Amino acid sequence: MLVWAGTAVAAGAIATALPFFVMASPSAAQPGPDSVRLYTLQPVGLRGSMSVTGFGVGKVLHTADGGQVFGFDVDQNGPDGLLASAQTISPQGQVLASVETFDQSTVTITKTILTSRTMDDFVTYGIFAGDVGLVQHDHVIGTRDHRSWHLMNPVTGQTFTGRWTPPDATNFLLNQIVDSQTTPTTVAMGTDFMGRPRVFSTNVAANTFGPVIHLNGNTFGDGDAPQLAFDSVNDDAVIATSPDGGRVGGHVPVIAIVDLATGKARQFDGVSIPPFFSGFVNGFAVDSATGIGCTTTELDASVEFYTLATGSGFSVVLPGSNGNQFETGEAVVNDPIHKLFLVVQPNGSVGPTGDSVIDVFTERGRLVKSIAGFKAFSVTPGIAINPGKRTGFISGPSQDALTAFSY
């Protein structure tokens, strides 16, 4: 029997316990060369205790050319997925780059859409309603990067079909776009070349755009690491930001709600968690149907849950972390079908030491389970889920790989 020490916390409270994690005998499923062993842990018995309740195998998908994954997503209404890949192949900076599709069920690459051996590269920004893929192309001419955005409508067609041309495209850096697949419109956020932030709504498939709304660069600039979410019911951009650059002991996070038609905005302060007051917001997601938002914060390894209509909120410390910054949460995604938020911990606080963890919470802040055993790549690993199937993919265990999981 293997015992892992850690701490868990109930919704809305901060409490330290001396819990234990009990591992039962493993199932017959064994990891192979292209898979990892996953462990499901659930709260049991005494407050703060968790037990291993199941085992699984996470299949690993590798890019066709061995390049690093630069963005990926899955269709939530079909079997396909989309990723971009790149790697430097010469001392002169030549890059082998590609755009590839994959099958969620078989966890295999289905086609390499294109390959480039220049200084160019590609970034996948997501799959949107109607299985429409969006890929950024960075085309280098001399010392200048000429950026354009290309559509795959649909991704299953396995070819580019048109362009997405945002307002003032030649003076625009796309930072974030919410990969909403339930409504035709979504929200994008970026800056001009002077770093001035802006948001706007867009129908990606139709290549149409709402008014460009300029934001305060002192609150929503790149140095404040704003995190973007979309309330499709109210057509609002919802932005969680660290208005003083994530300063230790500084201002608590701010949640801003911006009407994408009029630009009218309101904001409220996030949860206050002394003594450090959270620092950067690392991840943010919103369930439009319930009006609940969820953030992760850097300095306290906490998850915060907000009712957007009232600005009320509470925090939950990630299980086993005891507020340790090293075990902080990063990306957050919402499952609107089952009313869940999934939080990625690159450095897990439960399970085997050194593993990454996905924590699954209800929208009321109750921990449902933690899935351990991942080897997430980078300090900000990506995650994409298919709520209808309760499956997903996370970056890792290597730069050229994604690991499939179910939750």
Each residue's pLDDT tens digit, 322-381: 999 999 999 999 999 999 999 999 999 999 999 999 999 999 999 999 999 999 999 999
Categorize the per-residue pLDDT at 141 as very low, low, confident or very high, splitting at 50, 70 and 90: confident
Residue 6 has pLDDT above 80, yes or no: no
pLDDT for res 20: 29
Q: pLDDT grade, residue 32 (50/70/90)?
A: low
pLDDT at 8: 32
Distance of CA 133 to the CA centre of its chain: 17
Percent of the chain at pLDDT exceeding 70: 92
Instruction: Give tens-digit pLDDT for 163-196.
Output: 999 999 999 999 999 999 999 999 999 999 999 9
DSSP track, 278-344: --SEEEEEEETTTTEEEEEETTTTEEEEEETTTTEEEEEEPTTTTT-GGG----EEEETTTTEEEEE
Q: What is the pLDDT of residues 237-283, one digit of tens each?
A: 999 999 999 999 999 999 999 999 999 999 999 999 999 999 999 99
Inform me whether the pLDDT recorded for 288 exceeds 60. Answer: yes
Residues in the chain: 407
The structure tokens listed for 127 are 């799959």
Question: In which residue are the tokens 């776009």 written?
Answer: 177
DSSP string, 374-392: E---SSS--EEEETTTTEE
Phi, psi (5° rounding) for residue 38? Answer: -115, 145
Q: Are 161 and 151 in contact (CB under 8 A)?
A: yes
Beta strand pairing call for 95-103 and 108-118: antiparallel
Mean pLDDT is lowest, of 2-6, 30-34, 218-222, 369-373, for 2-6
pLDDT over 50 at 26, yes or no: no
67: how many CB neighbours lie within 10 A of its CB?
25
pLDDT of residue 29: 47
The pLDDT mean for the chain works out to 92
Q: pLDDT (tens digit, 9 = 90+) per residue, 204-243?
A: 999 999 999 999 999 999 999 999 999 999 999 999 999 9
User: Which pLDDT value is given to residue 43?
Assistant: 94
- Say how far apart CA 376 and CA 356 lie, in whole Å: 6
324 close to 331: Cβ distance less than 8 angstroms: no
Check residue 28 and give its pLDDT: 37
Nearest 10 degrees: Cα torsion 297, 301, 305, 308: -10
At position 176, the amino acid (one-letter code) is Q
Q: Is the pLDDT of residue 9 over 50?
A: no
Q: Please tell me the predicted confidence (pLDDT) of residue 407.
A: 98
Q: Which amino acid type is present at position 361?
A: F
